[in-house]
């Protein structure tokens, strides 16, 4: 049974550390919540936010709880988005991954950087801003999911669809993913590459290895297709993106015999693509290349494609300027505007709001002894506070 939910005061919430520790102490390994959203909801309600829980499910997937909390009813509307779910702790920890231990100015725990620390920093920034200025002229909100580290089917994607159907308008959104490689303030994400996964299956005719003429070996055809797919770069990059990449991740035959030609062979590959492409144009390209190898030859092939997100970029503007100015003022570093890395829930939010990602240092995420400097928690809180102070003035 989850531990009791702490009782928060607005004054106590100005310090991000207690809330960060309380969130880390909830074992919210995807798709479990373990009361993490209850902890966050109690904190936000203490600041005057109105909170809604949005649980979603669908056949074959785990139920996922989500939280949407808003303060204010008018525009402009600034949202903070993130996730309380974490990856499994794994082995190799020198401290309890869910104890939220602080040693020598460092907070240790699963989710400290990715991304319970950033959530706590944003809540603390709200507490400070509201304490100094009262309710904002527009609206503040938090969109928090329990499904970012999992299949991402019942989390932010569904919340965004629900808010759009209800006519909820969000003008700008900060996603609190850990964006800086080594030092807070180094990098700000203004977009993400798309991601396409493909399985290529090539079929032939099984036979004896001593009589290859009586069989149709699918392996050479598979290798020819892979060679053709990787022969030329997909592009040379664009204004905001690095070149797209096609990475072969697996080649499998599953043949335990040394004297049998297999009936099938398969490969898997991943494409991280920029704004020169869409998943649809890439699929047409992939099928054309495979067909050029297969044409006029015996056997057949299948190409099974799954897309986890399209590429997108939010041109530099109000939100990236506010974040960059605040980061420079607090850390002395002006962030590089980047679209590197994997996918995030920003790929769903970009459909309803201008979005930028800025959070803690990501050096230890998904590792044993994940941690964040307490000083960085304080600095990120101050960066977010400055964004809040400037948002109503400059929007």
pLDDT 10s digits, 264-289: 999 999 999 999 999 999 999 999 99
Taking the C-alpha atoms of residue 359 and residue 253, their distance in angstroms, rounded to an integer, is: 43
Domain residues for the domain of 228 are: 194-309
Per-residue exposure over 104-133, b if at least 16 CB sit within 10 Å of its own CB, e if not: eebbbbbbbbbbbbbbbbbbbbbbbbbeee
Q: Residue 181: give its domain's CATH number.
A: 3.40.630.10
Per-residue pLDDT averaged across 77-85, rounded?
97
SS3 (DSSP) at 359: coil
Task: Please tell me whether residues 288 and 355 are part of one structural domain.
Answer: no
Task: Please tell me whether residues 290 and 321 are part of one structural domain.
Answer: no
Last residue of a domain, one of 281, 309, 337: 309
Per-residue exposure over 386-395, b if at least 16 CB sit within 10 Å of its own CB, e if not: bbbbbbeeeb
Label residue 299 exposed, middle or buried (CB < 10 Å: 0-12, 13-18, 19+). Answer: middle
* Contact between 111 and 367 (Cβ < 8 Å): no
List, for residues 134-179, the tens digit of each pLDDT value.
988 899 999 999 999 988 999 999 999 999 999 999 999 999 999 9
- Residue 395's pLDDT is what? 47
- Residue 342's pLDDT is what? 86
DSSP code of residue 114: I
- Residue 393's pLDDT is what? 54
Q: Name the catalytic one among 33, 34, 65, 148.
A: 148
Last residue of a domain, one of 309, 324, 352: 309
* Contact between 20 and 114 (Cβ < 8 Å): no
Task: Please tell me whether residues 279 and 206 are part of one structural domain.
Answer: yes
List, for residues 86-115, the tens digit of each pLDDT value.
999 999 999 999 999 999 999 999 999 999
Residue 2 pLDDT > 70? no
* Contact between 312 and 347 (Cβ < 8 Å): yes
Task: Give catalytic status of residue 148 as yes or no.
Answer: yes
Per-residue pLDDT averaged across 3-32, rounded?
96
- Residue 200's CB: how many other CB atoms inside 10 A? 22
> Of 376, 383, 366, which is closest to residue 20 (Cα–Cα)?
376
- Residue 325's CB: how many other CB atoms inside 10 A? 16
Tell me if 177 is assigned to a ligand binding site: yes
* Contact between 206 and 218 (Cβ < 8 Å): no
Per-residue pLDDT averaged across 286-314, rounded?
96
Task: Please tell me whether residues 45 and 96 are part of one structural domain.
Answer: yes
> Of 75, 46, 65, 67, which is closest to residue 140 (Cα–Cα)?
75
SS3 (DSSP) at 308: strand
In a domain, 73, yes or no: yes
- Residue 144's pLDDT is what? 98
In a domain, 328, yes or no: yes
Confidence of residue 255 (pLDDT cuts 50, 70, 90): very high
Q: Name residue 140's beta-bridge partners.
A: 71, 78
Task: Please tell me whether residues 168 and 225 are part of one structural domain.
Answer: no
In a domain, 158, yes or no: yes
DSSP code of residue 96: -
* Contact between 301 and 224 (Cβ < 8 Å): no
In a domain, 2, yes or no: no
Q: What's the structural domain count of the chain?
A: 2
In a domain, 6, yes or no: no
- Residue 371's pLDDT is what? 98
Confidence of residue 224 (pLDDT cuts 50, 70, 90): very high
In a domain, 7, yes or no: no
Residue 130 pLDDT > 80? yes
Task: Please tell me whether residues 57 and 181 are part of one structural domain.
Answer: yes
Per-residue pLDDT averaged across 336-355, rounded?
93
SS3 (DSSP) at 306: strand
Tell me if 366 is assigned to a ligand binding site: yes
In a domain, 5, yes or no: no
How do 371-373 and 106-108 pair as beta strands? antiparallel
Name the average pLDDT for the chain.
96
Task: Please tell me whether residues 362 and 264 are part of one structural domain.
Answer: no
Task: Supply 288's token pair.
Answer: 């054309």
Tell me if 149 is assigned to a ligand binding site: yes
> Of 292, 294, 305, which is closest to residue 221 (Cα–Cα)?
294
Task: Please tell me whether residues 92 and 184 are part of one structural domain.
Answer: yes
- Residue 170's pLDDT is what? 97
Phi, psi of 372, rounded to the nearest 5 degrees: -145, 140
Task: Give catalytic status of residue 85 as yes or no.
Answer: yes
Q: Which of 47-51, 91-95, 340-344 has the lowest mean pLDDT?
A: 340-344
Per-residue pLDDT averaged across 375-385, rounded?
98
325 contacts: CB under 8 Å, gap ≥ 6:
386, 390
- Residue 136's pLDDT is what? 84
Question: Quick one: what percent of the chain has pLDDT higher than 70?
Answer: 99
- Residue 1's pLDDT is what? 62
Task: Please tell me whether residues 218 and 246 are part of one structural domain.
Answer: yes
Peptide bond into 362 cis (omega under 30): no
Q: Which alpha helices (H) appear in the chain, and where do they start and end?
A: 16-24, 36-46, 117-133, 156-165, 218-230, 279-294, 318-331, 346-349, 374-394
Task: Please tell me whether residues 331 and 380 are part of one structural domain.
Answer: yes
Helix then strand then coil, % of the chain, to nearest 5? 30, 25, 45
Task: Please tell me whether residues 226 and 305 are part of one structural domain.
Answer: yes
Q: Residue 247: give its domain's CATH number.
A: 3.30.70.360
Confidence of residue 60 (pLDDT cuts 50, 70, 90): confident
In a domain, 262, yes or no: yes
List, for residues 305-318, the tens digit of each pLDDT value.
999 999 999 999 99
Task: Please tell me whether residues 360 and 240 are part of one structural domain.
Answer: no
Q: Name the catalytic one among 65, 85, 216, 376.
A: 85
Last residue of a domain, one of 264, 282, 309: 309
């Amino acid at each position: 049974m989850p531990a009791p939910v702490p009782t928060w005061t607005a004054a106590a919430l100005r310090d991000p550390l207690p809330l960060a520790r309380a969130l880390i102490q909830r074992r919210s390994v995807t798709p479990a919540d373990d009361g993490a959203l209850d902890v966050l909801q109690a904190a936000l309600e203490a600041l005057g936010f109105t909170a809604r829980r949005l649980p979603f499910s669908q056949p074959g997937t785990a139920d996922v709880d989500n939280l949407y909390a808003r303060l204010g009813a008018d525009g402009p509307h600034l949202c903070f988005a993130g996730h309380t779910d974490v990856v499994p702790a794994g082995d190799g920890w020198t401290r309890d991954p869910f104890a939220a231990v602080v040693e020598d100015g460092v907070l240790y725990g699963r989710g400290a950087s990715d991304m319970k620390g950033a959530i706590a920093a944003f809540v603390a920034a709200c507490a400070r801003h509201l304490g100094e200025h009262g309710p904002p002229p527009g609206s503040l909100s938090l969109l928090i999911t329990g499904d970012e580290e999992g299949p991402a089917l019942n989390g932010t994607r569904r919340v965004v669809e629900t808010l759009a159907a209800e006519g909820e308008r969000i003008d700008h959104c900060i996603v609190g993913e850990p964006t800086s490689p080594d030092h807070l303030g180094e990098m700000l994400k203004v977009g993400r590459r798309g991601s396409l996964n493909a399985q290529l299956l090539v079929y032939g005719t099984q036979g004896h290895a001593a009589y290859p003429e009586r069989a149709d070996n699918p392996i050479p055809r598979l290798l020819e297709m892979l060679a053709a797919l990787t022969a030329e770069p997909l592009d040379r990059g664009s204004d905001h993106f690095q070149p797209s990449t096609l990475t072969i991740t697996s080649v499998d035959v599953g043949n335990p015999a040394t004297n049998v030609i297999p009936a099938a062979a398969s490969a898997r590959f991943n494409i991280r693509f920029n704004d020169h492409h869409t998943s649809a144009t890439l699929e047409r390209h992939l099928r054309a290349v495979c067909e050029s190898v297969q044409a006029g030859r015996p056997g057949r092939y299948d190409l099974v494609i799954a897309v986890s997100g399209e590429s997108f970029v939010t041109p530099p503007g109000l939100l990236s300027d506010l974040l960059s100015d605040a980061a420079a003022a607090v850390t002395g570093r002006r962030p590089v505007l980047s679209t590197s890395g994997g996918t995030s829930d920003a790929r769903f939010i970009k459909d309803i709001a201008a979005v930028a990602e800025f959070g803690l240092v990501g050096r230890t995420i998904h590792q044993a002894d994940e941690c964040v400097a307490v000083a960085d928690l304080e600095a990120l809180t101050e960066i977010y506070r400055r964004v809040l102070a400037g948002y109503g003035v400059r929007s």
